Amino acid sequence: MSPASRRSAGLPLAAAPSRTRPGFPVRLAGLGAPAPAVQAASLPAGPLAAALPGSRSLVPMPSGLGLDSSAVRQAMVARLAAQGLSEPAALQALAAVERHRFVDSALVNQAYEDTSLPIGLGQTISKPSVVARMLELLLQGRSRPLGRVLEIGTGCGYQSALLARLAREVYSLERLRALHEQARDKLRPWRLHNVHLILGDGMLGYPKGAPYDAIISAAGGESVPQAWLDQLALGGRLVAPVALVPGRQTLVVIDRTEQGCVQTVLEAVHFVPLKSGLA
């Protein structure tokens, strides 16, 4: 990381988060009680595993991508690596998850280009290099795998599917019912028992799953909601777009340390706005 600025954020610290696991399974809107947690490494083979040797995709490939979308993904990952993205686990996840299944059929041919694409209701799926960058930031320097992760902005569910491979439990909040339902339908065939999709206002976080090792937002406001800081575990990291200067979003990393929250401001980004309430 080459921070443009790094300083103690002086952010108000909440009471030290409890390390105690909340009762599981928790009740989650839309999905009912989740199935018991499984390690990302032992996820059942399915379409997500289609890129892995010896695995088969049970879902037919969409037309326009050819028979081997895994090769197209490998090429995308090679381009990301050439751009300097180097976190192996993040790149492996990007190589495995079939992005074309999360976009509109008319856009399938652009699914592996480094571009954001519309997913309906004025929202977009982030471009792969930005997704890779944020996942890299979450994973960087960790001595242990990610435990519980909070994702703000499920959108089409693509990043949730990536996180499923990188974290023990993923809690993903979406405020737009239609997108929440669409993501639930898209993810259903994968049977990702460690992904919990929740219809809710992400600005409030999701206390039931807290504390989180990582919080990642795909929507940006003018500041980081206090609830996110409160729900970040000690040693945890938050990555989000924030418009610290009105109209100019930058990627912000906040590490929660024994000494308080440390904020690092990184490069300029363009994400959809973080909005409150459900719609």
Residues 48-67 that bind ligand SAH (CB under 6 A): none
Chosen residue from 93, 149, 156, 232 binding ligand SAH by CB under 6 A: 156
Residues 189-228 that bind ligand SAH (CB under 6 A): 201-203, 218-219
Nearer Cβ to ligand SAH (158/212): 158
Q: Does residue 272 bind ligand SAH (CB under 6 A)?
A: yes
Cis, peptide link before residue 207, omega less than 30° from 0: no
CA atoms within 13 A on the CB side of 178: 6
Q: Does residue 238 bind ligand SAH (CB under 6 A)?
A: no
- Residues 210, 149 contacting (CB under 8 angstroms): no
Nearer Cβ to ligand SAH (118/260): 118
Q: Does residue 125 bind ligand SAH (CB under 6 A)?
A: yes
Locate all alpha helices (DSSP H) within the chain, ordered by sequence. Answer: 69-82, 88-96, 128-139, 158-164, 177-187, 226-231
Chosen residue from 142, 193, 208, 275 binding ligand SAH by CB under 6 A: 275
Q: Does residue 126 bind ligand SAH (CB under 6 A)?
A: yes
Instruction: Quickly tell me which residue has 């490069």 as its tokens.
Output: 267
Chosen residue from 134, 149, 179, 240 binding ligand SAH by CB under 6 A: 179
The least CB distance from residue 120 to ligand SAH, in Å, is: 9
Nearer Cβ to ligand SAH (111/219): 219
- Residues 77, 87 contacting (CB under 8 angstroms): no
Catalytic one of 126, 160, 172, 217: 126
Nearer Cβ to ligand SAH (26/262): 26
Q: How far apart are CA 73 and CA 50, in angstroms?
A: 11
> Which secondary-structure segment (H or E) carries 220?
strand 219-220
Q: Does residue 115 bind ligand SAH (CB under 6 A)?
A: no
Give the tokens for residue 44.
């059942």
- Residues 97, 118 contacting (CB under 8 angstroms): no
Chosen residue from 153, 209, 211, 236 binding ligand SAH by CB under 6 A: 153
Active site residue 126: yes
Q: Does residue 174 bind ligand SAH (CB under 6 A)?
A: yes
Rounded to 10 deg, the angle between the 128-139 and 69-82 helix axes is 70
Which one of 25-33, 123-131, 206-214, 249-257 is the stretch in contact with ligand SAH (CB under 6 A)?
A: 123-131
User: If binding means CB under 6 A, how many residues of this protein chain bind ligand SAH?
Assistant: 25
Instruction: Quickly tell me which residue has 């028979």 as its tokens.
Output: 67
With 0-12 CB in 10 A as exposed, 13-18 as middle and 19+ as buried, what is 115?
Answer: middle
Count H helices, E strands: the chain? Answer: 6, 12
The least CB distance from residue 98 to ligand SAH, in Å, is: 13
Catalytic residue set: 126
The residue ranges that bind ligand SAH (CB under 6 A) are 119, 123-126, 152-153, 155-156, 158-159, 173-176, 179, 201-203, 218-219, 272, 274-276
